[in-house]
Structure 1
Amino acid sequence: MKIVCIVMMVMVLFCCASSSVCAESESKAEKKQVSAAKAWLYLIDGGSYSDSWKQASVYFRGAVAERSWVASLEGVRRPLGKLVSREIEKIEEVNRLPGAPDGSYAVMNFKTDFEQKKSSTETVTFMLEKDGIWKAAGYFIK
């Protein structure tokens, strides 16, 4: 009976240790995704719309022409004014998205306040490129 209890305790300790290692590696991956998204969003916040298009994923650049992207942001993002605050609310990793090729995606929701629009939600989708770098694949402000 003692041996069974000891074995059970070792198994519980092993499971707890391995799950914290998994949680730690997940948080490192999420940090990379969120960090990449914030850097890309800061380009947009600063009005560097062409640069944001150039730094987006191959998929994004193939789906949206640079001129169209810049015009869209001029009409939608610029009127919102300067960034006041931005906090990550949710991040979800998926392998499939409607209308996009299968791959590794991170769909992130940010609670964002702008000068002219409080309590916005920015949904930013990043995809893992073949070179191992997370890049923008989609952007939506609500």
Structure 2
Amino acid sequence: MRIAVIPGLILAMIAACSSDVAKTSDSPQSAAEAFLALVDQGNYQESWSEASSWLRDNVDASQWAEHAGSYRQPLGIVKNRKLDSIEFQGSLEDMPDGKYAFVIFDSSLADTSSASEMVGLMLDEDSMWRVIGYQTL
């Protein structure tokens, strides 16, 4: 009986560790891409729900939907999007101390020849990179 329990405990511990690794290894690029997938589909409410705790505390969902939509909707359907750069910063003016990343994509969109999209992220309380802002450049 004791022998059967030990392998079960070991498997449970491995699964728990694997899930923690997945949570903390989330990259700014993958978080930005997941956010952009929501915005591309017009899911602004869901993009707000998945955003950083700082953004949710400081911008209500309707303001966020208006802001994100005003930048994204006029550009039309995405034809192509590729990573241009990722810049990391340790602090930002008027923001809490923490880790920040700015992910810039070169995008080809239906209603414009090209655009640069910037997604700002912070490493949130849950150790996940989450959005603090979005704009087209």
Report the TM-score when normalising by structure 2: 0.76
Deviations 1:84-110 (A, max 9, x none): 111111111111112211101111111
Q: Which residue of 2 aligns with 1:47?
A: 42
Structure 2 CA distance for partners of 1:130 and 1:75, relative to 1, 3 Å:
closer
Q: Is the 8 A contact 2:28 2:121 kept in 1?
A: yes
CA positional deviation for 1:31: 7.2
Matches within 5 A, 1:8-23: none
Q: Which residue of 2 aligns with 1:138?
A: 133
Q: Is the 8 A contact 2:79 2:110 kept in 1?
A: yes
Deviations 1:14-50 (A, max 9, x none): xxxxxxxxxxxxxxx9972101110111000011010
Q: 2:119 aligns with which of 114, 120, 124?
A: 124
Q: Is the 8 A contact 2:26 2:129 kept in 1?
A: no
Give the letter for the 2:102 counterpart.
V
Residues matched between the structures, number? 114
Q: Is the 8 A contact 2:68 2:134 kept in 1?
A: no
Q: Which residue of 2 aligns with 1:59?
A: 54
Q: Distance in 1 between matches of 2:25 and 2:105?
A: 14
Structure 2 CA distance for partners of 1:104 and 1:62, relative to 1, 3 Å:
same
Give the letter for the 1:42 counterpart.
A
Structure 1 runs, 4 residues or longer, greater than 6 Å off: none
CA positional deviation for 1:69: 1.2
Give the letter for the 1:53 counterpart.
W
Q: Is the 8 A contact 2:71 2:135 kept in 1?
A: no
Of structures 1 and 2, the one scoring higher in RCO (CA 8 A, sep 6+) is: 2
Give the letter for the 1:119 counterpart.
S
Could you tell me which runs of 5 or more consecutive residues in structure 1 were left unpaired when the two chains were aligned. Answer: 1-28
Report the TM-score when normalising by structure 1: 0.74
Q: Distance in 1 between matches of 2:79 and 2:25?
A: 23
CA positional deviation for 1:73: 3.0
